[in-house]
Structures are given as structure tokens and as C-alpha cells.
Amino acid sequence: MIDPMRHLAAAGLGMFSLLAAAPALAAPGKSSGDFEESHAYWSNGQLPATFHLTITMTVDGDTVSYRGVNSTDRDHPHVATWSGKLDGKRYAFDGGYFDHMALMKTGPDEFMIEKYRNGDLVVGEFWRYTAEGDEWVRHGVVARAAADGTSKSYIETFRRTKK
């Protein structure tokens, strides 16, 4: 015969265990954290000698969030933030130069980011996290429709700054 009190206690303990484990299961991935630019290449040859960019990346389930601080001009740092679902859909974005973004997961620890302005794709980026180097690598192309009317491709590497 089943003891109802023992059955209820076991069910309650099981539910408590699941609830206690939920934050650990939903925690941001190993690729999340603070990173600093360690290498950069711009195809147009206009990479500033003082180029300095730090980023915070958070990968949490189906969402990627980015915060970048470009302090190349130390007196006037530029801060950029964005966040979105990795579903490939275009979403409105209110953050300055771009008005829409689309994010898509392309592989383990790999993402494609598309940035649009007035319906035109103006920046395409591929982001990849490498656990061996504990770093993010960003490959991108800025279309001629960019703010300054130029185009370029770029590769930038960001190494973890804090553990």
C-alpha cells in the first residue's frame, strides 16, 4: 500500500530539487564574460593606432547580449549595446546607427549578426567563441552604405579579462 504522506513528501523533494537546479541550468554559458581586444585587422588600412575595444558577451540559452566600449578616443568613449534572440528574425533595434538586427546561431559557439539601416544590410558579422583560447573572434563586413560611405572587412580577437 502507498503511504500518501511519504508519496507527497517525495514529490515535494523532487520538485524542490528541480527548482534548485533551474538557475544552474539557465546560467550563461562558458563563453560569457568580459573580453578585451587583443588583435584587429581592417581591410581599409584605417585601423587607429590607439584602437581599444572591451566587450562583455553574454550567451544565455537562445539570447546573446553584447556591450562594447570603444575607448580609442579616451576622452569620448563610444558605448554600444544590443541583445537579441538567436532565431534569425529581424527585430527593431534602437541603438544609434542601426534600426534592425537579426541574430542566428550557425554552430556550437558560433553566431551570425546582421545589422540593418532603412531596410539595407549594412554590417554582417560572424562571431565564434574558442574555448582553447578563451576568446571571441569576430569577422565582419561593413557595406558601402555605412555612415562614412566606405566599406571594409575586419577580423578582431577578444581575450577574456576576468574569470
**Distance, CA of 40 to CA of 47 (rounded, Å):** 8
pLDDT by residue (tens digit) across 46-93? 999 999 999 999 999 999 999 999 999 999 999 999 999 999 999 998
- The strand pairing partners of 91, in sequence order, are 101
- Predicted structure pTM score: 0.78
Q: Is the pLDDT of residue 135 over 90?
A: yes
146 or 39, which is more confident?
A: 39
Residue 11: predicted pLDDT: 41
Is the dihedral angle over the CA atoms 24, 25, 29, 30 positive or is it negative?
A: positive
| Third-level CATH fold of 28-160 | Lipocalin (2.40.128)
Q: How many CB atoms lie within 10 A of CB 20?
A: 9
The stretch 104-132 carries a mean pLDDT of 94
Q: What are the domain boundaries of the chain?
A: 28-160
Residue 138: predicted pLDDT: 97
